[in-house]
DNA sequence: GCCCGAGAAATTATAGATAATATTGAAATC
DNA sequence: GATTTCAATATTATCTATAATTTCTCGGGC
């Protein structure tokens, strides 16, 4: 029952740092100092360095030789790029997953949509939204594709959390319901088309809402 | 003029091991022992471990905690998955790159095609082929997308090298020429359609050639 | 007042060493 | 003869220490 035995220290550090970066607790550009992190986790700096390498590969951190590691910055262009990649890959995954979607999976996805619509904060909305996407795509049986989509989701979530620091307004997600309706009718291509537009909206220019604050459409 | 100063030891080890894995010099399933590799490169094992983490992220190696790192194995399903991902992402890249393609870039791509057609071995064919794809896609200006495509190319190349161990037959690439022709006419969507089919062919079931040996269409 | 440089402090990258774990092979048992 | 157990070996994951590089700071000169 040794929980630490299943997982390496480097992996744990990587997961925790990734969560901090995604939620914005660690701001873009922040220096990640290996000795400080090592001290915080009560380890040496070697596993910390290994965690850095994984974060780098996921695009959450940037390292320059001999100049340290920083939390990756991201521009609107980056967000748009990730949105387009997600759109292309999620459509691919949905096409392969559709034949294996069961009514019970679609019910779970609908429940996730309802949860997202009722979410009171951005964090629980993000969790429910990601669950919706994952439920529909997981049956594609393409592990590398799913892993790539997950990484892109993480970057999208960074943008989401950065935009909606504290305030969050409830708004029903019509795209999700449309996708589910099409999938129930086995009209895969229609569902894929809605999904593609839906995901591409992530990177759209933030617009003004009624109260004057900027907001971005997210998916 | 210190070349080693520009690059970290871990990076160098990673690049060299990646090349060995891709070319098949290191066979799938081979155990990668950190102490042996460290000794070969005349370093300690710490940079070796960091290199392992990058190889893992690229999908070229698989590591299980406390059980070491092995060269990743790959099945025909894996190859097909990578082919589909490449098709989706390369089409996306081409759509964005097309407006920025100049006649001189297209000329270089044509030269690469000629080189590939005349290649006497699989290795030089692969180099020319990859150059062709990269020339056409690089102007898209989406660095993360290009990096993802590069990683997928590496996995495709593993399959290529594994299939064509030594023998290699010259065969002109009609797809490449068709893509170039469409791009010269600014018919981006036609070019994208050919590219999509072209890349998807990678994972197609190996067929028999005249001499009776199995061969796979590759792109 | 501003810029430049030398020295100091902090930090990274690497090396060498240690403890814990998995693997292997041989002997003993069924 | 096959199987299980146990110890020897090999390997991994980690820690401590060291060398090298970068950044910071403070003082002097323009």
DSSP A61: E
Q: pLDDT band for position A208 (50/70/90)?
A: very low
pLDDT of residue A2: 33
Q: pLDDT band for position A33 (50/70/90)?
A: confident
Give A6's contacts in chain B (Cβ within 8 Å): 65
Give residue-wise pLDDT tens across range A125-165.
Answer: 999 999 999 999 999 999 999 999 999 999 999 999 998 87
What the block records as the tokens of B25 is 């010099």
The CATH code of the domain at A3-71 is: 1.10.10.10
Q: Which of A138, A66, A56 is nearest to A98 (CA)?
A: A138
A117 to chain B, any CB pair closer than 8 A? The answer is no
pLDDT of residue A205: 52
Report the half-sphere exposure of B146 (CA within 13 A, side-chain side): 17
pLDDT of residue B206: 53
> Which CATH superfamily, name and number, covers B76-215?
GntR ligand-binding domain-like (1.20.120.530)
What the block records as the tokens of B197 is 């089919």
A84 to chain B, any CB pair closer than 8 A? The answer is yes
Q: Which of A13-22, A127-136, B209-218 has the lowest mean pLDDT?
A: B209-218
Burial status of residue A30 (CB atoms within 10 A of its CB: 0-12, 13-18, 19 or more): middle
Q: pLDDT band for position A178 (50/70/90)?
A: very high
Mean pLDDT of A66-73: 87
Q: Is the CB of A45 under 7 A from strand C?
A: yes
Residues B39 and B79: beta-carbon distance below 8 Å: no
Give B58's contacts in chain A (Cβ within 8 Å): 57
Residues B35 and B49: beta-carbon distance below 8 Å: no
Chain D positions under 7 Å from a protein CB?
11-17, 21-23
* Helix, strand, coil fractions of chain B, as percent rounded to 5: 70, 5, 25
SS3 of residue A2 by DSSP: coil
pLDDT of residue A67: 82
Q: How far apart are CA B60 and CA B21, in angstroms?
A: 7
Q: Which of A58-72, A107-121, B4-18, B193-207 has the highest mean pLDDT?
A: A107-121
Cα–Cα distances in Å, from B118 out to A59, A127, B121, B156, B170? 38, 53, 9, 21, 6
A85 to chain B, any CB pair closer than 8 A? The answer is yes
Q: pLDDT band for position B7 (50/70/90)?
A: confident
Contact criterion met (CB < 8 Å) for B85 and A145: yes
Collect contacts of B96-100 with beta carbons under 8 A, ≥24 apart.
B96/A84, B96/B140, B96/B141, B96/B142, B97/B136, B97/B137, B97/B138, B97/B139, B97/B140, B97/B141, B98/B183, B98/B186, B98/B188, B98/B191, B100/B139, B100/B140, B100/B141
A1-18 CB burial, b ≥16 within 10 A, e <16: eeeeeeebbbebbbeebb
| Residue predicted with more confidence, B38 or A171 | B38
pLDDT at A211 > cutoff 80: no
Mean pLDDT of B101-117: 96
Q: How far apart are CA B167 and CA B184, in angstroms?
A: 34
Mean pLDDT for all residues in chain B: 88
| Residue predicted with more confidence, B102 or B39 | B102
pLDDT of residue B92: 98
Give residue-wise pLDDT tens across range B123-178.
Answer: 999 999 999 999 999 999 999 999 999 999 999 999 999 988 777 777 788 999 99
Residue count of chain B? 219
Q: pLDDT band for position A217 (50/70/90)?
A: low
**What are the extents of the domains in chain B?**
3-71, 76-215
């Amino acid at each position: 029952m040794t929980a630490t035995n299943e997982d390496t220290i480097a992996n744990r550090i990587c997961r925790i740092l990734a969560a901090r970066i995604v939620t914005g607790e660690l701001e873009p550009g922040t220096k990640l100092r290996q000795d400080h992190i090592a001290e915080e986790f009560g380890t040496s700096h070697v596993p910390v360095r290994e965690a850095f390498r994984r974060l780098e590969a996921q695009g959450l951190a940037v390292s320059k030789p001999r100049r340290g590691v920083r939390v990756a910055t991201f521009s609107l262009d980056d967000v748009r790029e990730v949105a387009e990649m997600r759109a292309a890959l999620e459509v691919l995954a949905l096409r392969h997953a559709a034949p294996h979607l069961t009514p019970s999976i679609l019910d779970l996805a609908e429940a996730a949509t309802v949860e997202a619509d009722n979410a009171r904060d951005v964090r629980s909305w993000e969790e429910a939204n990601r669950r919706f996407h994952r439920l529909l795509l997981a049956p594609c049986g393409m592990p590398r594709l799913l892993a790539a989509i997950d990484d892109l989701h993480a970057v999208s979530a960074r943008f989401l959390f950065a935009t909606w620091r504290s305030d969050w307004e409830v708004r029903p997600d019509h795209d999700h319901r449309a996708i589910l309706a099409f999938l129930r009718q086995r009209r895969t291509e229609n569902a894929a088309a809605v999904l593609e537009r839906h995901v591409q909206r992530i990177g759209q220019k933030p617009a003004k809402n009624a109260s004057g604050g900027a907001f971005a459409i997210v998916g």
